[in-house]
Structures are given as structure tokens and as C-alpha cells.
Amino acid sequence: MIDRLGTERNAWMCTLRPDGSPHVTPVWFVYLNDTWWVASERPNAKLRNIHADPRVALHLSDGDAPVVAEGRAVVHRSGYPDAVVEAFHVKYGWNIDTGESVLYEVPVSKWLLSGAAQ
């Protein structure tokens, strides 16, 4: 599972709208030290939703070997960790530290599925 988190380009992130309904979008991410790091442009629905309720779920799209995690997102608007900036640059060729992106730090609080269908 950890190998896939380092190589897969996309994950799906579920945030909660103010009415409690799910908002699911594909995201670019890196996984470092038991934490998902998701970067996106701002402003967007993810950012608004996370400000209202930080609970999120993230999953890889392969249904034959599902990886699904839950956590609480912390929003970073600047001062991104160097290791995360470098990991995004290596994986995507994207410099996330331009002031035009927002970074979500999501430490895993619970693994729902870790690569094996149940």
C-alpha cells in the first residue's frame, strides 16, 4: 500500500458541504510520514468545506485494491514544509510554494481499507 501512495498520481478527496452532503474531487497528493498532503488552487469548494468541517476521507481509485483513509485536514496557506514542496515538485513538476496554492495536511486517523478488498 505505501508504495502505491508514493506512485499513484491521483486520489479522491471527500469533504463535507455545510448541509452535510459529500463533495468528492480528484486531487494531486503526496504521502509523507503517515500524512496525506493535498495541494490545490484557491479559492475552491474544498477550502470552504474544510473551514466549516475539517473531516475528510481520501482514497485511491483502484477498486480491486482499495486504499481509504480518514483524517482531519489542517489548512496551510504559506510556510510549507520543504520536504512536501520537494515531493510535489518531484512527483508532478509543480512548485506549490508560489502563493497561489493552498496545502491541506491530513494525518491519518483511521485506515478504512489498506489495499485489500473486503
Reported confidence tier of residue 118, pLDDT bands at 50, 70, 90: low
Q: What are phi and psi of 34, to 5 degrees?
A: 65, 25
Q: How far apart are CA 44 and CA 41, in angstroms?
A: 7
94 and 88 Cβ atoms separated by less than 8 Å: yes
Q: Which of 37-41, 64-68, 80-84 has the weakest average pLDDT?
A: 64-68
> What is the average pLDDT score of the chain?
93
Domain definitions of the chain by residue range: 2-114
Give yes or no for residue 1 having a pLDDT over 70.
no
| Model confidence pLDDT, tens digit, residues 68-114 | 999 999 999 999 999 999 999 999 999 999 888 999 999 999 999 77
37 and 105 Cβ atoms separated by less than 8 Å: yes
Q: How far apart are CA 82 and CA 88, in angstroms?
A: 10
102 and 27 Cβ atoms separated by less than 8 Å: no
pTM of this prediction? 0.93
What homologous superfamily does CATH list for 2-114?
A: Electron Transport, Fmn-binding Protein; Chain A (2.30.110.10)
